[in-house]
Amino acid sequence: MSTISFEEIMFTIMSATQDTFKSYMNIDLLAGKVEKRVDPVDSDVTGIVGVAGDRVGYIIVAADKTTAQHVARELLMVDEADDECIRDAIGELTNNIAGVFKTRYHEQYGSVALGLPLVISGQLRAIAEPAESDEHSSMNVQCKGVTIPFKTAAGDISIKVMVYM
């Protein structure tokens, strides 16, 4: 079994995200500058899928409400997307991206298992960062990973995909 570098994981996540949007919604995404950390994010909707196996970590997809509504309408083929539709769509999107990653990773490098998607809203911040206010709920994540911003050429969809392993 080959050893996989973190860069290979990052490029696999990038192509998994772009391929998922293209396959399921016929949307072309452009990847932005990769940040070598899991960014603090204050998002309207965030999907999280745990990864286990030879490498362990998380795949995190964060979106604002406008993008989440757009994804829900396209992915679920509905005219209007209520909060439940948005949660379902972001969970499904995160699960699909993780599934494509799992298939590609497993084919080349070994066993991978995925957890069920968790969908949350609010602030994600690194453990080392102090909370700005006790009024907002937050979830702390480790800082070891990358954040990859994606958007469409028109700018109507903008998401961040974070991975750490």
Considering only residues 28 and 55, tell me which one the structure prediction assigns the higher pLDDT.
28
> For 69-114, how does the pLDDT look when each residue is reduced to its tens digit (9 = 90+)?
999 999 999 999 999 999 999 999 999 999 998 888 877 767 888 9
Residues of the chain with pLDDT > 90, as a percent, come to 54
Question: Where in the chain are the domains?
Answer: 6-164
**Residue 75 to residue 90: CA distance in whole angstroms:** 9
CB 161 within 8 A of CB 25: no
> For 20-49, how does the pLDDT look when each residue is reduced to its tens digit (9 = 90+)?
999 999 999 999 998 887 766 678 999 999
Q: What's the whole-number average pLDDT of the chain? A: 84
Q: Which fold has domain 6-164?
A: Chemotaxis protein chec (3.40.1550)
What is the reported pLDDT for 35? 85
**Residue 133 to residue 75: CA distance in whole angstroms:** 35
User: pLDDT at residue 55 above 80?
Assistant: no
**Residue 162 to residue 50: CA distance in whole angstroms:** 12
Confidence of residue 164 (pLDDT cuts 50, 70, 90): confident
The two structure tokens encoding residue 122? 């609010």
Residues of the chain with pLDDT > 70, as a percent, come to 82
